[in-house]
Amino acid sequence: MASNDGTKFVTISEVKNILKKVEKEREELTYEQKIALDHAQKFAKLTVSKAKNMIKELMNLDFLNESHAYRIANLIPKTNDDIKTIFAKDRITLDDNKIKNILEIVNKYYID
């Protein structure tokens, strides 16, 4: 998906898949690509399809935008404080009910 400014958001899972495909095609990744692939392999906690489904469901919450949905899908917050941290930079304060809604969606797609 692309934002209003043309930025295309991707999940860490998608990055991992893209870099693995590039690695197969070229046989050798650049240093930066190797670092990015290593990071993606360590931190991608969902499959691409689960991440996409989570993002779709998060986007149905009227108080979240696309950027927030992708951040949540990439970071997989587990607590109220994790959610608050994600939104701290945006100076958005979410009430407990909204946080609960987000965590319910996250927990539906990711189980520790």
Q: Residues 32-50: what's their mean pLDDT? A: 95
Count of domains in the chain?
2
Domain that holds residue 29: 12-43
What are the angstrom distances between the C-alpha of 106 and each of 70, 76, 100?
12, 7, 10
Angle at 52 between CA 30 and CA 78, to 5 degrees: 95
81 and 102 both lie in a single domain: yes
pLDDT tens per residue across span 96-109: 999 999 999 999 99
The pLDDT value given to residue 92: 81
Q: For the chain, count helices (H), then strands (E).
A: 6, 0
58 and 22 both lie in a single domain: no
If 0-12 CB within 10 Å is exposed, 13-18 middle and 19+ buried, where does residue 97 land?
Answer: exposed
